[in-house]
Amino acid sequence: MKSKILKSPLLYAMICLLIITIAGGCKKDQLIVDQTKQYWQVDHVATNAYDGGWGLTLQPDGVADVLPGGDVYYRGTYKISGSKITVETPQNSGSYTFKIISDTQIREKESGAVLALAK
């Protein structure tokens, strides 16, 4: 004699919901850095000789160089998690977050500056 629980549609619905939740919770990184990638701010108009706009260089070994406007680069490390790039720099105790828009564009979180992959 089989239990009524095994025949219950609610049990099957809960199992399906659990599988969907687990599968949906696994996020895939939207950007793979298998070679050096340089991003530069789109449509930046320099106001003086030292205004370089935003820039970001990602190395395959996890090293990043970030140019947060101006002319000084900060070296640090980066991590990619889903659609987010986080850059940590010890020189200015800074942390910069970028959202991956597409394979060729990212957006800096605070300023909203859009950066495009250099060709």
pLDDT, tens digit (0-9, with 9 covering 90-100), for 81-115? 999 999 999 987 779 999 999 989 999 999 999 99
Neighbours of 72 (CB within 10 A): 12
pTM of the shown model: 0.73
Q: Is the dihedral angle over the CA atoms 31, 112, 97, 70 positive or is it negative? A: positive
Alpha-carbon distance values, 110 to 2, 14, 36 (Å): 59, 40, 24
Task: Quote the tokens at residue 39.
Answer: 């991003």
Long-range contacts of 63-67 (CB under 8 A, 24+ apart): 64/89, 66/94, 66/96
Domain segments of the chain: what residues? 37-117
Summarised one tens digit per residue, pLDDT across range 5-20 is 566 677 677 776 766 6
- Residue 37 has a pLDDT of 96
Q: Could you say which of 1.10.1740.10, 3.40.50.720, 3.30.70.260, 2.40.128.280 is the CATH number of the domain covering 37-117?
A: 2.40.128.280
Q: pLDDT band for position 119 (50/70/90)?
A: confident
For the chain, the residue count is: 119
23 pLDDT higher than 60: no
